[in-house]
Structure 1
């Protein structure tokens, strides 16, 4: 850089420099930090980091995981190809990556910057912004079906917590005790072999927010079990008054704008209701949206399954297991179709926010 250019740069106020840099992706900013001491100071200043986070939260990214396996059997010893790619909300590609793995890979979002990957019972933390993966210490073995884990972020401490539920067989046949262990990830911290913390209290049932019921015939007395990541204590929240406990209907939990929501989809008539826990203390639920699925392009009442991924700029981001994502405007109540991403029905999808959070083994 010429002497004249340096003088001109020096005249630009710090706030303007920070504003310009905050529009760059995390990966590019990492390279800019190596240009000069001045740039390093700007790009590590708390003011800049907060500014970049606020901008990133308004322009969240999408992470996709395609796998060559046509099933989710992680005990299968055949090698398969796992393909990652990320885009912004308009489908502009950010990066692609691929690699060979053995067994099926699960993806657990945190709702923030990191994503947890699980392959053959091994957990890894993944930062899509930095394209970094860190293998975590092995968790307790479990015979529970699927992946009984949750991944969350605590903004006040800038820490992530990985919660794992596992079972211990009791003396009585077919009786098990459900236990819980938690791993805390700190920015730049080294994860050691003893990083799992065993909770003394047993898990009352199988959530971090988890849907909980007994047998195959749930009632309106169903409860949602929660785990407070800061106090590491379990609690219960009653369901809203839903009526979809029949074959063909579906329910799941999702976080929208920092609030717990229950998505309740009916087969007949084909509608999706979104309930929001407006008051967590008094446990008051409000039916915020009712979505007419017949207005969704390509909707098939027997084949289409609806997953709400998140909320951005007045729109619900919807995965209907087609080649594209759909965006539902909560004001106009109309859908718009996103760009063609050639998605498969089993493509794993989650939303994340770009972060400088560093991972170390």
Structure 2
């Protein structure tokens, strides 16, 4: 029995098995909820709470509880990626993989600021966690990074990343960060770098292979209209810049075809007025669900917290009436990524 168990453990721990498992699993909608039920209260404030992490199968509506964690105190934050979850409390940082139920603690950063982002480097099957902080009063930014490899170990220190600030970039400290996504082998921030009448919106990115910073300009043929919102999306691994116009009830999606030459192409234009005239202001693209024969679908959350699926092959859409995705943050990819021990 021990021999069988050992062989089985070796099988499921092998890179081939992990890769096969990850590629055959359809991503699910990630839902994070908090509850203070049953927790002690002092002066009307809960002293602790429970964090519930679940996933939803969009096709069936089946909900699967992935992970539950009790958190002491009210001052904490958590940051989500497509698989890992980062918890921060009083500069103490922990990373969790809901698939394996592992939790590891990271070393303390050099500065006590809650500015973290996670990125998955698919080519190397590793995660990058980047921490940004202000080094001076003139908005001089500093960055440090940790790389998590499958099987560990967890690094004991953060590495400084050289950063030459594009002028002007004040985003994290003037509330000018609009959106973030990791795609196309890079960690991408959509930022508003304007100062007065100078500058404009741009995409600020860190290439995960080289750990070098750069910027990408907007598609040259698009001007943001009034009552139009924008976001970054990962579509089949490619960086996508999406615009939603409330006036025309239309989503326009540009894909970055060439990062070095900054070539954008308008890939999809989704007309929503025929399906629902009241999709609202808070419409958001959650992610891309792959299908057979390139018959994938884009998952969209409406103002009514309903799910809309847009088929990129047939260019048609359908609503999923039986699923409420109001708590959905992004898609979750089930990976046997082993965090190891610090």
Using structure 2 for the length normalisation, give the TM-score: 0.77
CA contact (8 A) 1:309 1:319 kept: no
CA contact (8 A) 1:79 1:103 kept: no
* Residue 222 of structure 2: aligned partner: 242
* Residue 95 of structure 1: aligned partner: 65
Residues 44, 176 of structure 1: alpha-carbon distance in 2 compared, 3 angstrom cutoff: closer
Shift of 1:192: 4.6
Structure 2: segments with no counterpart, 5+ residues: 37-44, 172-179, 181-186
CA contact (8 A) 2:30 2:329 kept: yes
* 1:44-59 mapped onto 2 (5 Å cutoff): 44-56=13-25, 59=26
Distance 2:112 2:15 in 1: 42
Residues 265, 34 of structure 1: alpha-carbon distance in 2 compared, 3 angstrom cutoff: farther
Shift of 1:60: 1.8
Distance 1:299 1:290 in 2: 18
Q: Deviations over 1:86-121 (max 9, x none)?
A: 233322222254444323533331x4x433344555
Structure 1: segments with no counterpart, 5+ residues: 2-32, 70-75
* 1:244-259 mapped onto 2 (5 Å cutoff): 244-246=224-226, 248-259=227-238
* Residue 333 of structure 1: aligned partner: 315
Shift of 1:270: 1.9
Of the three residues 155, 159, 162, the one matched with 1:200 is: 162
* Residue 8 of structure 2: aligned partner: 39
* Residue 205 of structure 2: aligned partner: 226
Distance 1:103 1:34 in 2: 47
Q: Deviations over 1:200-258 (max 9, x none)?
A: 33443348311233337788964311111121111111111322253x32111111111
Secondary structure at the aligned position of 1:281 is classed as coil
CA contact (8 A) 1:77 1:103 kept: no
- Greater per-residue strand proportion: 2
Distance 1:217 1:78 in 2: 43
Using structure 1 for the length normalisation, give the TM-score: 0.74
Of the three residues 67, 72, 80, the one matched with 2:34 is: 67
CA contact (8 A) 1:327 1:336 kept: yes
* 1:278-297 mapped onto 2 (5 Å cutoff): 278-297=257-276
Secondary structure at the aligned position of 1:53 is classed as helix
* Residue 356 of structure 1: aligned partner: 336
RMSD: 3.1
Distance 1:126 1:82 in 2: 12
* 1:1-361 mapped onto 2 (5 Å cutoff): 35-56=4-25, 59-68=26-35, 79-90=48-59, 91-95=61-65, 97-101=67-71, 102-103=74-75, 105-109=77-81, 111=82, 113-119=83-89, 121-141=91-111, 148-170=115-137, 175-194=138-157, 196-204=158-166, 205=169, 206=171, 208-215=187-194, 222-240=201-219, 241-246=221-226, 248-297=227-276, 299-301=278-280, 303-313=281-291, 314-338=296-320, 340-344=322-326, 347-359=327-339, 360-361=341-342
Distance 1:218 1:99 in 2: 46
* Residue 174 of structure 2: aligned partner: none
Residues 49, 305 of structure 1: alpha-carbon distance in 2 compared, 3 angstrom cutoff: closer
Distance 2:3 2:65 in 1: 22
CA contact (8 A) 2:67 2:98 kept: no
Distance 1:211 1:123 in 2: 25
Secondary structure at the aligned position of 1:50 is classed as helix
